[in-house]
Amino acid sequence: MFIILGFYKFKNLKSLKRQKKNLENLFSENDIRGTLIISKEGLNGTLSGKSKNIYKISKIIKNSFKIKNFDSENLSKSKLQPFHKPKIKIKKEVVPMGIKINPNDKKNNHLEPSEWNNLIKNKNTLVLDARKPFEYEIGSFKSAVNPKVKNFREFPKYLSKLGKNKTVAMFCTGGIRCEKASIYLKQRGFKNVFQLKGGILNYLKKIKKDESKWNGECFVFDNRVSLKHNLQEGSYIVCSGCRIPISNKQKRSKKYEEGVSCPRCYDTLTKSQVNRFRMRQKQILLAKKAGKKHKFQKEY
């Protein structure tokens, strides 16, 4: 059994290159996989490994960056290793929004999952899904609005159109996008901005299905693809042609071909791409038959 740790922390950080090198060695020694983003404004990571190693690395990361607690921390389990390799990246922003914020200018506006339902049932509350459109399509809260922005850098433009007296309830997968967006709104003078503590993952973990306001599944950026209530693995797979999740219903389409295409990308692929993807899939299946993993098999 593997433990998956998702976390983030907004804090002014220094000595990033030295910390990166030290952590790379520790990840290798403890067979930790996944992605860790480090920047001058904080940390954002999703890591997996055996239980004792994950807790060890979590403690080391906190000590290395002089962090008492992460701003958010989610734990889940998987029978299979959800990541292929470890990746530590130094970025300009811990989550790319294209604006400068003060990491210390945080607001105590986090709502526990048990409080969230009461807020979002109010018709005067704007329930805002801060994720990408394809994530929204897989699953979201019943009353949620998706801004339909291509990436998070376009999010400030959408937020700038909102009235400052509006009550806003934001959510995302683990909470980091909302954390940064809420700091941005606070700096712009917004008073009534709330976010779901620990994001969707924390909600699905703590709220019973019969009490839930969530519809569908939650996309995650690892080989589990999607999660359901109680953080059980979902039903989606990722299309090898466009890297967008597809449902069981979409897999029954004539436009779906394993390792090649799905209804979303079928009409956009060139003949050259189709032939190349078919050759890649053939090699993957041959490697699988031989009990090996092909180098072209895309994994997180």
DSSP assignment letter at 19: H
The residues assigned a catalytic role are: 172
Question: Do the domain assignments include residue 64?
Answer: yes
| CATH code of the domain covering residue 47 | 3.30.70.100
First to last CA, the chain: 18
* Cα angle: 201, vertex 205, 211; to 5 degrees: 110
Domain around 46: 2-90
**Kind of pairing between the strands at 218-219 and 226-227:** antiparallel
Average pLDDT score over the chain: 91
- Joined together, the tokens standing for residue 11 give 């804090």
Note whether residue 269 is domain-resident: yes
State phi, psi for 195 to the nearest 5 degrees: -140, 155
Task: Go through 176-204 and write b for each residue having 16 or more CB atoms within 10 A of its CB, e for each that does not.
Answer: bbbbbbbbbbbeeebeebbbbbbbbbbbb
Domain boundary among 216, 251, 280: 216
Question: Does some domain include residue 299?
Answer: yes
Predicted local confidence at residue 267, as pLDDT: 96
Q: The tokens of 29 are what?
A: 């020694």
The total number of structural domains in the chain stands at: 3
pTM: 0.89
Angle between helices 199-206 and 113-120 (to 10 degrees): 100
> In terms of Cα–Cα distance, which of 179, 168, 171 is closest to 199?
171
Which CATH number belongs to the domain containing residue 162 in this structure? 3.40.250.10
Contact 27, 46 (CB under 8 A): no
74-102 pLDDT tens trace: 999 998 899 989 999 999 999 888 887 77
**Which residue's structure tokens are 């692929």?**
269
The angle, 0 to 180 degrees and rounded to 10, between the axes of the packed helices 51-64 and 16-29 is 160
- Domain-embedded: residue 35: yes
The listed range with the strongest mean pLDDT (57-71, 177-191, 276-290) is 57-71
User: Stretch 219-225: mean pLDDT, rounded?
Assistant: 93
pLDDT tens-digit profile of 148-174?
A: 888 888 888 888 888 888 899 999 999
